[in-house]
Structure 1
Amino acid sequence: MTASSSTPTASAPFGVSESTASRLVTGQLSALIEMSDDFVAVSNLDDSLSYLNAAGRRLLGIAADADLRGVSVLGLFSAAARARAAEFDAELAQQGSWRGTTALRHQHTAEDIPVAGGCYLVRHPTTGTVSGIATVFRDLRPARDANRVLRSQVAASHAVARFNQLALTCGVAELSTEAVRMIDALYPSLMNGILQLDPTGTTLVMTACTEPAFVGETAPIDKTSVTGRAVVLNRIVASHDIANDPDFADLTVAESYGRQSMLCCPITGPDGVWGVFGFSSSQPRVWTDDDQTFVSAIASTLGAVIRREALQLQLEHQALHDPLTSLPNRALLGATLDRALVAAAGRETAVAALLLDLDDFKLINDTLGHDVGDQLLQNVALRLRETAPAGATVARLGGDEFVVVCEAMAEPQAEALAERLQASLRREMELAGRRLVVRTSIGVAVAHGRALPEDPLLGRADIAMYAAKRERRSGYRLFDVSMLEETRHQLGLAQRLRTALRKGHIEAHYQPIVDVATGRVCALEALARWTDEGRAVAPDEFIAVAEQTGMIHDLGEVVLRRVVQDVQTWGDVEELRVTVNASAAELCREGFAERTVAIIGEGRHRLDRFGIEITESMLLGDDPVTLGNLRALREAGISLLIDDFGTGYSSLGYLSRFPVADVLKIDRSLLDCDERNGRVVAAVVGVGHAFDLRVCAEGVETAEQLRMLEELGCDAAQGWHLGRPVPSAQVPSVLGR
């Protein structure tokens, strides 16, 4: 710390004369200071250290022979103390001294060392001018540590401390017995006991007592008895002389136990009052504050153990059960299934596992909200429990996956159960004012006796479930070994797709979209293409894998970036529009529109040159994230194309409620040149034009189809008759360049 030399004269430090103070580092006083256990330092007015005694060096971890010339005194203090240096200096300058607590800093470990003491101005004995600052501190840690030890010793000597120690390892029953025994040794003239509320909550039952004969006795709960009043009021209740106490008219309990004075304290469990603990005497007795404190401490510890046991049971339940549905979780299911398989091996019976996955649960969750999704899962759990046979285990694996495990069940019975489960879940559910029908895909696997499968039973049920999803929605499949090869193929494909995305091996091919009236190419649709180990993988195959594994977002971004790069290589095609497909998973993800705009912006292209194609089914529902992304894309200038129009439902209502689309694309299935389909195409063209939208037909493969579209007034068309998808390098030739 520093101080101005113009500071007024202050009292001499250490209670000695100024002439002595000026010779702190010399003579006998110097030797005395060196022998002191306190930190003593003297500094110059420029904050440089001029002296530090041996105790100070030890305290700060400074070697005895270390050269301290030029060392800053301020640097010996903790960071917090240094931050208040200005305050210390101001007080020192004004008062001539500073006293209080602060902290020094160990020079090697950087540990803060709490100290108490003071800083004092040192004046020249002749001139009276300030020549330095003397600092004396005492280490507070020894006193602090001594107090802690003392408190521990006092606490350890108490019966309550011993009881609390016992409570760490004992359960309620054992602790209750020990409490009665221990307290009886401390208060041999008193009877003590513990009473617990019965399940009805109307009666107290003695569970532990100094007099074993009283265990099992009951007492009513009302304000006319000491025990009852303690429960009703939920506080300590004392009576020094029950027979003459006007608060306690009912003497039945007291007289039956031969008690004339009682002190009772409620014991608090997890759901309120659990029971009471109390003292009683056969003679009138004045209960002191110490008595009440002791009883309260014992009751508090008992309550803590009771709540701990309840919490342990709760945690055990939570660890093994799903919190939303209260069904067994994966851990409990695994243990149950292991036991069932071992038992089946011993009895040579079968164990069936049915794994259910809710179709379109994510769409319901995203569209109607997570609260509705949670209610749906709870209703599904209830119906599964109601439908599963007695003795079956119904569990939730997580998300929208459930499992039913049945012992002594072979394939025919398991398949019949799968049909019953699906029928039960197909019944309408009313949630949040909406009627919903749950569709499921179920995989069934059966293990027979000693011929247990090498692969886990649940794994086989999972494989069968995904086979059901691939082959027909809302169906079930019984596992067979041929599914293993398909699963391995899918896993390998997913791994290679992940590598292809990382290395940029996904390409874009472009199919021309032709203006029907002029025959000129007016747009290009970008289509993802992947060649895996020399084999062209069908888009439907790898896109399905991307959706199942969550890679669809990466795939969408990779394709869009490739398109942006390709457009730059085609030269001046300002009026040409390029469209890219987006999945439902991408559209319902926060920030999709912003990322799309940013990626296109990286290529310095006009946003209105790009379009996003969405399927008609994506227009169903009112998911706010999806709607927000569509609006943001349209407001940025990116056009929206509704793909496969005419194959879904609710399209007209949606177009009127959400008029942001630019183009309707007629699905290829409607282009068969028969009279009925011709009327459907004409209707779609009319709908599109009624909403001021352009209409484009997909899948044009013949000249006859093209003539029909021209006659019906369709604006644009695409298909192999007009041009197949081509790599980026061939686009200029497609455009006639």
Structure 2
Amino acid sequence: MLEGTVPPSSSVTASVLLVGPEPGGYDGPRTGTDVPVGPPAMLRAPGLAAALDLLASRPVDCVAVDLGLPDAHHPETWRALRAHSRGAVLLALVDGSEDDAHAGLHLADEVIGRELLVGPPTPRLWRRLLDRARVISELRTSEEATRRMSAILDVLPDAIYCHDPEGIITSWNHGAVQLYGYTSAEVLGRHVDLLHPPDTHEHAPIMSALRRGEPVRALETVRHGKDGVPVHVSLTACPEAGPTGELRGVTVLARDIGDRRYLQDELLRAFMHDGLTGLPNRASLVDRLSRTLARDAAEGRPVAVFFLDLDQFKRINEAQGHVAGDRVLAEIAGRLLRLLPEDGMVARLGGDEFVLVSRDTDTAAAAAIADRIFAALAAPVRLEGRAVHISASMGIAVSPPLDPDAESLLRHADAAMYEAKARGRSRSQIFDVSFAERSRDQLSLSGDLRDALARDRLEVHYQPIVALDGQRLVGVEALARWNHPTRGMVPPSEFVPLAEHSGFVCELDRWVLARACRQVRAGQVAGTLPDGVRVSVNLSARSLADPDLVALVRAVLDAEELSADSLVLEITETALLQDIATARRSLQGLRGLGVGIALDDFGTGYSSLSFLRELPVTQVKIDRSFVCNVARNQEDRLITQSIVDLAAGLGLETVAEGVETEDQRALLLRLGCANAQGHLWSRALPLAEVLAQASLGSPVAPLVPGRHAARRGHPGRRWGRAGWRRTPVAGAGPAVLPGGVPGTVPATPPDAGHQVAEAVRAGLEAGEAWLVVATDEHREALRAALGPDHVAAAVRGGYVELDAADILARLCDGGAPSRERFDGSIGELVRHLHRSSTTVRIYAELTGLLQQHDEPAAASAVEGLWEELEDVTGVSVWCGYDADHPLALRHAEVCTRHEHVAWHHGTLRGSTAS
């Protein structure tokens, strides 16, 4: 049975149809009948029409057509036979006289001589026909399979080619053309070395394996295409063995793995690099730094690691969004890369932290590189047409002398960076062993504090608040105390900032609030607490910004069953200024509960009580810096008197803090201050001890000898009527100017302070409003020079003071000043001042302070903000500078930027630019 034919009838196994006249000498059946000669069977049809009729009803294996028939030369006849024969082999019977153009010669499967059919149709004859037909059919099937396989190979994306044992290419599919770029004509007959990159030696070992009959599977390697570009492929080579096992040829399948390799490389890059900047990440940094340290340590070459943290970067994200923050990070990364030594490395660890690695860099060379880094960061980053100034704190660790271990060196540089931040930001610090010890100590102490808070192991002590007229107990201030199990008493000045830095100061506030309300309520129930005594609890700036603060206080009061009028919450001016809008909402909600609100440390921030009228404050606490010298210093006495008078005019209670002597108490009473607290009566004690010392309703006698507290302000520098002067600081050496050169601040005639004061006084008398942004000492001296003039202006809302150091901390915190924060603090105050006067003037020392701290870039940025404020609001700004500071701007340069300039030498000397 031939492949592709329809099975014959069940009476025979094979059949042949002879189309044409009867062979000579034969007198058998004439039309369409079986010849009874046994298998194989023969059918006969006298013409092509009869053959088509017979084929329509019965399949055959072979059709032999005599080309002498009249219609046998028509191509359509042969196409009809081919269509009706159902795959049977078509034979053309010829006698050699036919024209070469005869259709049958070209459309038949094979041509045979007519002489084969002379005589009777014997079984042997028909078997010969069928054998020939079978061979033809098998050849046809083989050719079809070959065509099919070739078509499949050409549509496969893989390159498939063959070469002989000598490496000569013998076949080449379309996939190979696509992969390598060579056409079949260009590679057939050439050696496979054509595809190998230069200096490769893979062919010999591959051929050795193939000659042993071993296929090569999935060998990942590189080949070269026609254009010379490397092609990453996975090769599979199969040997073709001869009869005796010898290698006759090789079939190679080459699969393009370029995309996979690219994806692998990208995944590896993503794992080892920062997605935003493209810099190596921590994993890549540690790996490369470890190898660098191992290599250079063996050669005795020093390696320096610079750990950078951008100062107050989160404020950029908060003010301008993360897209702007990402642009800043990318810009900083680019600057650091341009600064990188040829064999160095820059990495981003995440957030706003970057690390630079420099080889052959000892401590002295590291300091020089640090200066170059700061210089590279000094230029502002432009964001939507606005200049954003960036600064960084930097820690430096050098090996040797430190151990050549990547992780420890990074930790040391990190510890040095935090030390730089602690010392004022925007500076560098080389690692010292004490930094790591202090860092570990702070980390350990922070964990201990969290544990103590969770296990209820803190304490609350109370300092009495006394009515000065009869020295009755009117309140107690709740203060947290921590008795560490191994360190003993840890002062609040240490653990409260630690809680703020570690992020759980709100939890500490809530704990103190709940404990104080519980203990005070217990005293009320027991009858040991005098009627009307209130408990004051301090709130941090973070707690004040908590949107759930009012609900929290209500829940505590309800849980402890304490009436709201028994509680006073104390807040600082600094906490208020961080977010006035949120503070106003929180305070209004608290006052709605009936809770009292005390403004703590009053006088150290700004002193506009008309501004305070907008906040529901019920009590003002006079800062101890004014109280400590109130009995001896006329200026402090005047300030205290002004605060008391202003508070009384606004209906606010006053509490003087830090009273330590009888003279202070007596004077405060004469000035009209209602209440006070301090060591004159008692330090902070457990509530039971406080109540034991103050029996119900009886006067509270002084309990502890008084002592003087240190004046607040900048250590070692005072500004009074005598002007600037250098004063000694305990344990301090000579002043150090940039570059490490010891220096001093020269003194000059003390006349400038009075001239500035006269300008302010004249403006206030003319109905102008003034904002003063200066240091503590300068504001003290200005108030003393103005006398009572500024008090009336403050009452009408026309005079506001701000501490320059606090404002700088909020504007830039050692980093780039923020336009949003500038507008939110200075701008809002200017708008407030415009309510009381159409003319607003400002005296500010921000840029002078920035120059004194060696921050010229930030100083220039603040100059720009002042200029914009002048242009937008029409205010007049006087800027104060230290003319003797090495980084001070030239007189002519400053005078072109401002209408009014004040130069410090020993004092402020007012000058107007011409």
TM range (shorter): 0.5 to 0.7
Task: Tell me the distance in 1 between the aligned counterparts of 2:648 and 2:154.
Answer: 86
Q: Quote how far apart the aligned CAs of 1:602 are.
A: 0.9
In the TM superposition, residue 525 of structure 1 has moved relative to its aligned partner by 1.6
Measure the CA separation in 1 of the matches of 2:321 and 2:580: 8
Of residues 626, 633, 636, the one that matches 1:677 is: 636
Distance 1:159 1:554 in 2: 77
5+ unaligned residues in a row in structure 1: which ranges? 1-156, 165-174, 183-187, 196-205, 216-300
Q: Is the 8 A contact 1:191 1:209 kept in 2?
A: no
Deviation at 1:621, TM superposition (A): 4.2
Match of 2:540 in 1: 583
SS in 2 for 1:477: strand
Amino acid at match of 1:551: F
Which of 617, 622, 628 is residue 666 of structure 1 equivalent to? Answer: 622
Aligned to 2:293, the other structure's residue is in SS state: helix
1:700 partner letter: V
The Cα shift of 1:472 comes to 4.0
Superposition CA RMSD, Å: 4.4
Q: Tell me the residue number matched to 1:559.
A: 512
The residue number in structure 1 matching 2:181 is: 208
CA contact (8 A) 1:180 1:208 kept: no
String of CA shifts for 1:289-318, please: whole Å, max 9, x gaps.
Answer: xxxxxxxxxxxx98xx77765554444333
Cα displacement (A) at 1:345 = 0.9
Change (3 A) 1:313 1:475: same
Conservation of the 8 A alpha-carbon contact between 1:354 and 1:405: yes
Contact 1:348 1:450 in 2 (8 A): no
| CA-CA distance at 1:515 after TM superposition | 3.5
Displacement of 1:365 in angstroms is 5.1
Q: Does 1:732 align with 2:691?
A: yes
In 2, the alpha carbon distance for the partners of 1:436 and 1:423 equals: 15
1:465 equivalenced with 2:417 (yes/no): yes
Change (3 A) 1:549 1:714: same
Partner of 1:117: none
Deviation, 1:348, is: 1.3
Q: Which residue of the other structure, out of 428, 437, 441, is the alignment partner of 1:489?
A: 441
Gaps of 5+ in 2: 1-147, 163-170, 189-254, 697-914
- The structure number with the bigger radius of gyration is 2
Query: Structure 2 CA distance, aligned partners of 1:375 and 1:652?
Result: 40
Q: CA deviation at 1:504?
A: 0.9
**What is the SS of the residue equivalent to 1:528?**
strand
Instruction: Check conservation: 1:351, 1:408, Cα contact below 8 A.
Output: yes
When residues 638 and 450 of structure 1 are mapped into structure 2, their CA distance, relative to the original with a 3 A threshold, is: closer
Provide the C-alpha distance between the structure 2 equivalents of 1:641 and 1:158, rounded to a whole number of angstroms.
Answer: 93
1:610 aligns with 2:567: yes
Identity of aligned residues (%): 36
1:124 alignment counterpart:
none
Cα distance change of structure 1 residues 181 and 527 upon mapping to structure 2, 3 Å threshold: farther
Change (3 A) 1:710 1:459: same
2:598 counterpart letter in structure 1: L
Pair 1:391–1:636, CA change in 2 (3 A):
farther
1:509 aligns with 2:471: no
The answer to whether the 8 Å contact 1:570/1:731 transfers is: no
- For 2:567 and 2:589, locate their aligned partners in 1 and report how far apart those are by CA, in whole Å: 14
Measure the CA separation in 2 of the matches of 1:159 and 1:688. Answer: 101
Does the CA-based 8 Å contact 1:384-1:394 persist in structure 2?
Answer: yes
- 1:594 maps to a residue whose letter is A
Contact 1:394–1:404 under 8 Å retained in 2: yes
Matched residue SS, 1:496: helix
Are 1:696 and 2:652 matched, yes or no?
Answer: no
The C-alpha deviation readout for 1:227-261, integer Å capped at 9, x for no partner, is: xxxxxxxxxxxxxxxxxxxxxxxxxxxxxxxxxxx
Looking at structure 1, the residues matched to 552 and 152 of structure 2 have their Cα atoms a distance apart, in angstroms, of 63
**Distance change (3 Å), C-alpha of 1:515 and 1:396:** farther
Check the 8 A contact 1:698/1:717 in 2, yes or no.
Answer: yes
Matched, 1:647 2:600: no
Partner Cα distance (1:163, 1:492) in 2: 70
**Equivalent-residue separation in structure 1 for 2:613 and 2:335 (angstroms):** 36
Distance 1:162 1:643, change over 3 A: farther
Instruction: Report the Cα offset of residue 475 of structure 1.
Output: 3.8
Aligned with residue 637 of structure 1, among 591, 594, 615? 594
* TM-score, scaled to structure 2: 0.45
- Contact conserved, 1:346 with 1:450, CA < 8 A, in 2? no
1:380–1:425: 8 Å Cα contact kept in structure 2?
yes
- CA offset at residue 456 of structure 1? 0.6
The one of 413, 429, 440 aligned to 1:477: 429
Q: How does 1:92-241 map to 2 (within 5 A)?
A: 178-179=158-159, 208-211=181-184, 213=186
Match of 1:548 in 2: 501
Deviates more, 1:668-677 or 1:495-504: 668-677
Judge conservation of contact 1:180–1:210 (CA < 8 Å) in 2.
no
1:187-207: per-residue Cα shift (whole Å, max 9, x none)?
x99856777xxxxxxxxxx95
Residue 318 in 1 paired to residue 270 in 2? yes
- Structure 2 SS opposite 1:349: coil
Match 1:526 to one of 457, 461, 478: 478
Q: 1: CA distance between counterparts of 2:150 and 2:570?
A: 78
For the residue of structure 2 that corresponds to 1:569, the secondary structure is helix
Cα distance change of structure 1 residues 337 and 601 upon mapping to structure 2, 3 Å threshold: farther
Superposed, 1:622-633 pairs within 5 Å as 622=579, 629-633=586-590
What are the residue-to-residue correspondences of 1:272-311 with 2, within 5 Å? 311=263
Separation of aligned partners in 1, 2:667 and 2:519:
34
Which residue in the other structure is 2:87 paired with? none
Q: SS of the counterpart of 1:677? A: helix
Matching residue's letter, 1:667: D
Task: Label 1:564 to 1:193 Cα distance change in 2 as closer, same or farther (>3 A).
Answer: same
Residue correspondence of structure 1 range 383-422 to structure 2 within 5 A: 383-385=335-337, 389=341, 391-422=343-374
The amino acid that maps onto 1:342 is A
Q: Hey, what's the Cα distance between the residues in 2 that align with 1:402 and 1:457?
A: 14
Aligned partner of residue 456 in structure 1, secondary structure: helix
Describe the shift of the 1:640–1:475 C-alpha distance in structure 2 as closer, same or farther (beyond 3 A).
Answer: farther
| Partner Cα separation in structure 2 for residue 508 and residue 603 of structure 1 | 16
Do the aligned partners of residues 631 and 490 (structure 1) sit closer, same or farther apart at CA in structure 2, a change above 3 Å counting?
same
How far 1:507 moved relative to its partner?
A: 0.6
Aligned length: 470
Q: Using the alignment, how far apart are the partners of 1:653 and 1:436 within structure 2?
A: 34
Correspondence for 1:620: 577
The answer (yes or no) to whether the contact 1:506–1:558 under 8 Å persists in 2 is no
Distance 1:427 1:192, change over 3 A: closer
- 1:108 maps to none
> C-alpha displacement at 1:350, in angstroms?
1.4
**Matched position secondary structure for 1:620:** helix
Q: Secondary structure at the match of 1:570?
A: helix
CA contact (8 A) 2:160 2:173 kept: no
CA separation of 1:427/1:210 partners in 2, compared to 1, >3 Å: closer, same or farther? Answer: closer
Matches within 5 A, 1:361-440: 361=313, 374=326, 377-378=329-330, 380-385=332-337, 389=341, 391-422=343-374, 425=377, 437-440=389-392
Shift of 1:727: 0.8
Instruction: Kindly indicate whether the alpha-carbon contact (under 8 Å) linking 1:512 and 1:523 is maintained by their aligned counterparts in 2.
Output: yes
Structure 1 residues 449, 698: closer, same or farther in 2, change over 3 A? Answer: closer
Cα deviation for residue 705 of structure 1 reads 3.3
Q: 1:192 to 1:179 in 2, by over 3 A?
A: closer
Contact 2:587 2:615 in 1 (8 A): no
State the shift of 1:438 in Å: 4.5
Deviation string 1:573-604 (CA, Å, 9 cap, x unpaired) is: 56332222222333444534433332232101
Alpha-carbon contact 2:644-2:654 (below 8 Å) kept? yes
- Kept in 1: contact 2:544–2:583 (CA 8 A): yes
AA matched with 2:431: F
Query: Which residue, out of 301, 305, 309, partners 1:357?
Result: 309
Could you tell me which amino acid in structure 1 is paired with residue 619 of structure 2? V
Match of 2:795 in 1: none
Task: Indicate conservation of the 8 Å contact 2:307/2:395, yes or no.
Answer: yes
Q: With structure 1 as the length reference, what TM-score do the two structures score?
A: 0.54
